[in-house]
Amino acid sequence: MCLGIPMQIRSIDGNVAKAFLSGTTRLIYLDVLDEEAQVGDYVIVHAGFAIHKIDEKEAKETLDLFKEAGVLPSGS
């Protein structure tokens, strides 16, 4: 029910930011983001609004769960 795309903030102007994903740039709105956004932050964008700042540490840990199991998959 919720397409949410991870995008990186490239510039901020009030409640509007320019966000970037792999070659595509869009304007997004920061009205409902619960943290102060900084240029360089990655956020989840839904229907043109940033709803969460991506936790880079958690993102990495989700992928690293495999290291615990003693399996190092391709591309890790």
Partner 1 sequence: MKYIDEYRDPGRIEHLVAQIRKTSRKPIKLMEVCGTHTVTISRNGIRDLLPHHITLISGPGCPVCVTPIEGIDRAIALAQKHETIIATFGDLLRVPGSETSLLKQRGEGADIRVVYSVYDGLRLAQQNKNHQVVFLGVGFETTAPTIAAVIQRAKEARIGNFTVFSMHKVIPPALKALVQSPELEIDGFICPGHVSTIIGTEPYMPIARDFGVPCVIAGFEPLDVLQAIGLLVRQIEKGEAKVEIQYRRAVSPKGNLKARVVLEEVFEPCDSIWRGLGPLPRSGLKVASHYSDFDMERRFNISPVNGREPPGCLCGDILRGLKRPPDCSLFRKACTPESPVGACMVSSEGTCAAYYKYST
Partner 2 sequence: MPPITSIRPEEPANEERLSKKQGKVILDHGGGGRASRELVQSYFIPRFTNPFLEKMDDSAVVDFPAGRLAVTTDCYVVDPIFFPGGDIGMLAVNGTVNDLSAQGAQPLFLSAAFILEEGFELADLERILISMAAASRKASVSVIAGDTKVVPRGKGDKIYINTTGVGLVQDDVNISGSNAKVLDKVILSGPIGDHGIAVLSQREGLAFDTDLRSDCAPLNQMVEEILTVTREVHAMRDPTRGGVAASLNEIAAQSDVGIVLTEGAIGVKEEVKSACEILGLDPLYVANEGKLLVFVPPEHTSGVLEAMRQNQYGRDAHIVGEVVADHRGRVVMRTTTGGTRIVDMPLGEQFPRIC
Under the rule (CB under 8 A), what is the footprint of partner 1? Answer: 1-6, 8, 21-22, 29, 31-34, 42, 44, 46-49, 51-52, 54-56, 58-59, 61-63, 65-66, 69, 71, 73-76
- CA 24, CA 76: separation in Å to the nearest integer? 26
Q: Which is nearer to partner 1, 21 or 39 (CB)?
A: 21
Q: What is the separation, in whole angstroms, between the first and last Cα of the chain?
A: 30
Question: What's the closest the beta carbon of residue 42 comes to partner 1, in angstroms?
Answer: 6
Closest CA to 7 of 18, 21, 17: 21
